[in-house]
Amino acid sequence: MTFPSSQELEISVQELVDLSLPENSNEFRLIDCREEDEFAICRLENAELIPLSNFQEGSAKLFQNEDEQEHNLIIYCHHGMRSMQATNFLRNKGLTKVWSLAGGIDQWSIQIDSSVPRY
């Protein structure tokens, strides 16, 4: 499985499943841009929380080392709107390996893992 092209802004939940195989575990970072109370309800495994309300400041921790700027980032939220804002923010900063999870964690619950609570 490969990542979408840098021309695309979204990645599907099925593409994320394919990328989440153990052999790809270091290929990307998964960022949850929902708020802390939403993160407490449910989250995807290995996700790092950087709320959109604090994304400009919080995203700085994504790139503490220069080589971290080369990481692939997949950002998700509840339905995909906030993660698209975060993706566009980082793309406007010059990063090209950033995608929003289409449909967010809600779509993940519907298509991939129904044990993830919908809210």
- Share the mean pLDDT of the chain: 91
Q: Using CA atoms in the order 86, 119, 17, 73, what is the torsion angle rounded to 10 degrees?
A: 10
Region 10-111: CATH code: 3.40.250.10
Q: Which two tokens stand for residue 56?
A: 């400009």
What is the residue type of 55? F
Domain boundaries, the chain: 10-111
pLDDT digits (tens, 9 = 90+) for 93-107: 989 999 999 999 999
Average pLDDT over residues 23-30: 82
pLDDT, tens only, 38-61: 999 999 999 999 999 999 998 887
Q: Please, is 75 exposed, middle or buried when counting C-beta atoms within 10 Å of its C-beta (0-12, 13-18, 19+)? A: buried
What is the mean pLDDT of the segment spanning 12-33? 89
- pTM score: 0.92
Residue 66 has pLDDT above 60, yes or no: no
65 has pLDDT over 90: no
